[in-house]
Amino acid sequence: MEKLDPSLKALEIIEACAKSGSEGIGVTEIVHETGLSRSTVHRLVTSLTESFYLRRVGTSKKFKLGYRLLRLTDSLTNDLKIKDIASPYLHQLSETTQEAVHLIQMDGSYAVYVDKIDSPQPVGLLSKIGTRIMLHCTGAGKVLLAHLSVEQRERIVQEVGLPPQTPYSITDAAKLNQELAVIKEQGYSIDRMENREGIYCIAGPIYDHRNEVIAAFSVSGPSYRFSLEQLNSHIPDVKETTRLISEQLGFRS
């Protein structure tokens, strides 16, 4: 590790401090985490603290990230436009499945289509970017619900309810919670004509660098063409799309 360029050594220390969160990390722990010598760590921590890239935790001998890094992260965050990053992978998914693909994000107690790749098939879906959808009866909506806290989920259900959109919609809170637990565990969601009769859908989550779900995507098609058997055959494609987009956003499993 000592053969690293000095600038990379400093980045190793910053990364170690980032992992420690608000509690901070001491010099001895940084040495153990990075493999750098104690003298190198002490020198670089002092320099990084003086330049406000690190800051001391109160009066302790621990350090955490400094506010000067906000300038860098703000610039990076502005560049990380989820739509732009996800677009090539969603186009590939649409080409693979030959069906429509949507990118969806939370919008209050609902979700909203923020991007759409139309199916190359002659008959497509009439969905439009900007349309709000309910969470409990859509594939992407259930993905987003599954990754909310219990308190957030209960607030949404209390506010919006679980109104049926089709005879197949889940309208029982206990049954919905059971399905959401399965969705979170397996990494994808299936909409079995719960939002629109005759339409099947499979959806996956998108994680960011904090390992939090910030969006979802879905593949939808008419049941006569996109059957449950066909849908299930694309589960690996959906999970791979989750991985590819999320990694571009800094997610590490």
pLDDT digits (tens, 9 = 90+) for 130-141: 889 999 999 999
Domain 80-248 CATH (choose: 3.40.50.170, 3.30.450.40, 3.20.20.330, 3.40.50.300)? 3.30.450.40
pLDDT at 44: 94
Give the integer Cα–Cα distance in Å for 97 and 202.
11
Q: Is the pLDDT score of 46 beyond 60?
A: yes
Where b means 16+ CB within 10 Å and e means fewer, 64-93 reads bbbeebeeeeeeeeeeeebeebbeebbebb
Strand order in the sheet with 100-107: 132-133, 110-117, 100-107, 213-222, 199-207, 189-192
What contacts 24+ positions apart, CB below 8 Å, involve 172-178? 176/136, 176/145, 177/153
Q: Which among 219, 192, 206 is positioned nearest to 147, based on CA atoms?
A: 206
pLDDT at 74: 60
3-state percent breakdown (helix, strand, coil) of the chain, nearest 5: 45, 20, 35
Domain boundaries, the chain: 6-76, 80-248
Q: Is the pLDDT score of 246 beyond 90?
A: yes
> What band does 125 get if pLDDT is binned at 50, 70 and 90?
confident
State the maximum Cα–Cα separation within the chain, in Å, rounded to a whole number: 69
> What band does 20 get if pLDDT is binned at 50, 70 and 90?
confident
Mean pLDDT of 28-48: 93
Which is it for strands 25-26 and 54-56: parallel, antiparallel or unpaired?
Answer: unpaired
pLDDT at 3: 60
> What band does 40 get if pLDDT is binned at 50, 70 and 90?
very high
Architecture of domain 6-76: Orthogonal Bundle (1.10)
Mean pLDDT of 68-78: 66
In this predicted model, what pLDDT tens digit does every residue of 80-115 receive, in sequence order? 588 899 999 999 999 999 999 999 999 889 999 999
